[in-house]
Amino acid sequence: MKLFVRAGLFVLLYLAVCIMLAAGKPAEGPRKIWPDWYTLVARNGTDVQERLSPELDILSPRTLEVDINGFSSMLQIPLDQVETRLSPLDPRIDPFIRTLPFLFRADWQGEEADVLYIPRSLPPRDMEVLLREKGIGSEEALLVDTSRPSNLPLVLTFLLIALPVLILQPSQRLLSALMLLPWGIGILFSGRDAAFLALLALFVIPRLLSLVLPFLLRRYHDRETVLKPAFRFEAALLALGLFTGMAMYGAFVSFADFLRFPFSAALAALALLRFRLLIEEHRQKQLLHSLFMPVSLGSPREKGGKMTLQAAAAACGMLIVLLLPAGLEETDLKLPVPVELALPGKDLDRSLAALEELGRKQDAPSLPLYLTHRYFQENYLYHPDFSLPKLNSELAIENYRQADGRILSERNTVWRFTYTWYTDIINDDTDRIIDFFIHEGIPKGILRTTITFGRTPVYGVYTGFGLLFSFAAIRLFQGARGRRQLIGCSTRRFESRRMSQTA
């Protein structure tokens, strides 16, 4: 009965690891919040930007320049210097400029944070690697919209390669397949980097199993248990190769990620191997008839205490494994995101009015506010009101001239809101701010919305999880040497014992 309980615990451990790997895939957040920009939320935006600036052209209040009428020409002034280079009461600091900081502020779990925008010149994975190389961890900054590609093609590739490898396996195909299953599932969690490590395991584990399993099973059949030197060297080389691959992978990821994969996948394979040995132990016990009740030479109290401690450790371990997904915290961020509205396609005035009303709810910048800013700054010398005229409206000024001894007044048009003026602005590729208000010709609004991003590991849980796994790995094969004398007898030795005892 105890043997079945122990075997069941190893099976539960294996299943728990597989479920954890499959269900523990971290949330990736919204896919591409802004089509042309990554969104990086930082607790200290200035410090993060300084570390990333040599490699990346980051859009922030330090680098975003706004157009301000300089009377003789248009000036481009960084947003964070507007109120220092101009008087805070300068009327040229229009309402649009005052709402622009909205784009660069976020709420990170109740604390104010900075938002930096990074052009999508690098793939998402390379972007994450760059952040790690610069020493920017998840406690300092979060890359919100990673928009990783699907890992399903990598999993299918792994399965296609595994099929011929398992077919060529001389024996124990099912056991090999089950040992490789956690490695395949791990690709879903870690993607491309895990795929290379899983591919290494795919070629190492089946061959290593073919070498080691017969050696482990022979001790239950009273056979020679020494591996040939060539096989011993090959097994050591394979194990060293897999260990080196795991160590190299661990050097580039966090401790929590290493525990989740590949450490847990390796432990699941060991648990399955231990289960196989327990099955063989049970099979041999069924073949042999016990002559006498075995009597322990040790203290019953000491043995019972050890069994109690082992049972408690196993129970705590399973509890941690099953509760591990609950030990992950979701991070709430409140930051600017684009909003699509059902706009009348052919009525520009109504579309702009709807966008302006949306932005007014949170004092957020909007496309009509930006157009008004452009109109206001371009015609500042004519003292315009800060309000966007209707389509085909015009700005006119009074000119006076003398004719026939009289002073005549006439209105001259200095600006007209035409559709050409509008399209020239929204199609300007050099204007970095327009990307936030329109995409592929479709106007968008901006609101600050709470989104749930990723999962921040609770490192205490992961540490306990790793220590438990280490303890389980050490205990995994203990007791096999002493058990040989109890169940490792062949039929010939069994007959010899019976004859000597009945003599």
**Adjacent-strand bridge partners of 335:** 449
Give me the pLDDT at residue 52, please.
92
Question: For residue 19, what are the CA distances in angstroms to 28, 228, 325, 327?
Answer: 19, 38, 10, 15
Kindly report, residue by residue over 203-249, the tens digit of the pLDDT. 888 888 887 887 777 766 655 556 667 777 777 888 888 888 888 87
Longest dimension (CA), the chain: 152
Q: What is the spatial distance between Cα 388 and Cα 132, in angstroms, rounded to a whole number?
A: 46
Kindly report, residue by residue over 454-491, the tens digit of the pLDDT. 544 444 444 444 444 444 444 444 443 344 444 444 44
Kindly report, residue by residue over 60-106, the tens digit of the pLDDT. 999 999 999 999 999 999 999 998 999 989 999 999 999 999 999 99
Q: What is the spatial distance between Cα 341 and Cα 338, in angstroms, rounded to a whole number?
A: 10
Question: For residue 37, what are the CA distances in angstroms to 34, 57, 63?
Answer: 5, 11, 15
Top pLDDT among 450 and 485 is at: 450
Assigned token pair, 62: 């330090």
Please give the single-letter amino acid code of residue 10. F
Evaluate if pTM is beyond 0.75: no
Q: 71 — alpha (psi -120 to 50), left (phi > 0) or beta?
A: left
**Quick one: which H or E segment has residue 245?**
helix 229-251
Kindly report, residue by residue over 296-337, the tens digit of the pLDDT. 555 544 444 444 444 445 445 444 444 444 444 457 788 898
Residues 452 and 332: beta-carbon distance below 8 Å? yes
Top pLDDT among 49 and 464 is at: 49
